Structure 1
């Protein structure tokens, strides 16, 4: 049976994080929220809210993603208005000490999982002329010691998102990259768990950043998603500072887009 409410699916909604805050904001605004997490028992702050459907979704599991898509499609009649790809994992290790197998896991979670998610839900988004948003990070614009693998994964995700923005435009689907600064989140607890190998000569440290309130961030992001903002939206502590210091380009986005799609066939589809 199709839902009469606008619908949003959000990944990575475990208690205390950005996804949970986004789910609460959209629920408060009258949306039907599909809140997902790899461990549904960690969705306790959302479980009793009306118009919230809890789903198990590990973004590296194709089976979980397809099951979630089927559950959403059954409830909405085959559409989804907004998909917010938030789930991800931090990684805090000097590159010379990094375990390549663990680094691959980070890329699976932060890049390939969101890719499969977008591919699977694309038909639902296209039917709704919907919106796809990716939570990326200012870390992708900085060479922060001990965060190289994580930073590379978040910038790679943004490149994929920005490319999808061009590829999905002819089908009526908008794409937004939320370039996120420092935000209070359970995701930051990894600093306390960080340990170097015994033979490492590198120093240990945290990021030392002040952080924006999670609900303040979530409300601002929800505003941009609902307005169908496309391209990059920079928000969170220090986001503007990083944007101004790393993206001083005067070429209009429209001109860049036109050059990128020239001769690809997308230029003809857009006409």
Structure 2
């Protein structure tokens, strides 16, 4: 196989992974597009140099099968690994279901570690690049997404350490700190339901508005995002890159903006101002 190769997780239609698969293919790479169900990315199957693979990043057996398929087609090399799979849960931290939170971390964080460990031999052989999809919420503290925010912050810290550890082995590590993108991520996010005893009942409308994606925010299309990110990756980027609406602003604001100002912005439309100190 003469062309460069890339494997991307989370390629269901309508999301970032799908757009990345299309853009890498357009630029001449051989693409392994993966999702838990290949039917969710069927629009990719007619593209040249595109292989669709079922892959569940929480399943070591599923990952091992994907490694075997890639090895068989590439001779034991992989130039780019794009860890994009993710899920979200929303709601106040006080009302969070711990098991749901663990399942989210299993995808968003542990899934990345599983993929990196499994594909490391192929990446080292190719002197390749690991690209992990992070988020501006790893820097921000937007209400009602504390657990998702924490999972992305964990990815950022993991990546920067991994970057140092992989450098002697000839493998680059890139973190895409993703801004606001117009995707269907809420399909992987259960609708938040506040228990009757929740202290946040007064903020229910704000929570629902956020879940439905009706907040007044600018969003980048997945296609536009993919063009920028693929360009960055193929140009040899390393470390953190900031792409998508509000990403550039977040890069500087997280260090320079006073807490009172960022609080005011992040609290906008949350309805937390309606919440008292008790349920009475």
TM-score bracket for this pair, using the shorter chain length: 0.7 to 0.9
Flag as ranges the 4+ runs of structure 1 deviating above 3 A.
188-192
Which residue does 2:185 correspond to in 1?
187
Task: After superposition, give the CA deviation of every residue in 1:186-205 in whole Å (9 maximum; x if it has no partner).
Answer: 11456783322232231132
| Whole-angstrom distance in 1 between the partners of 2:176 and 2:84 | 10
Equivalent of 1:212 in 217, 220, 226: 220
Which residue does 1:239 correspond to in 2?
247
Does residue 20 in structure 1 map to residue 28 in structure 2? no
Query: TM (normalized to structure 2)?
Result: 0.85
Which residue does 1:228 correspond to in 2?
236
Structure 2 stretches lacking a partner, 5+ long: 257-280
The alpha carbon displacement at 1:37 in A equals 0.2
Say if 1:166 and 1:191 are closer, same or farther in 2 by CA, change over 3 A. Answer: closer
| Whole-angstrom distance in 1 between the partners of 2:193 and 2:180 | 22
Does residue 34 in structure 1 map to residue 18 in structure 2? no
8 Å contact from structure 2 (residues 87, 189) kept in 1 = no
Which residue does 1:172 correspond to in 2?
170
| Whole-angstrom distance in 2 between the partners of 1:170 and 1:21 | 31
Which deviates more, 41-50 or 131-140?
Answer: 41-50
Structure 1 stretches lacking a partner, 5+ long: 249-271
Query: TM (normalized to structure 1)?
Result: 0.88
Root-mean-square deviation over aligned CA pairs: 1.3
| Whole-angstrom distance in 1 between the partners of 2:69 and 2:170 | 23
Paired residues, number: 246
| Whole-angstrom distance in 2 between the partners of 1:169 and 1:4 | 25
1:53-132 to 2 correspondences below 5 Å: 53-132=51-130
The 3-state SS of whatever aligns with 1:50 is coil
8 Å contact from structure 2 (residues 173, 239) kept in 1 = yes
Which residue does 2:268 correspond to in 1?
none
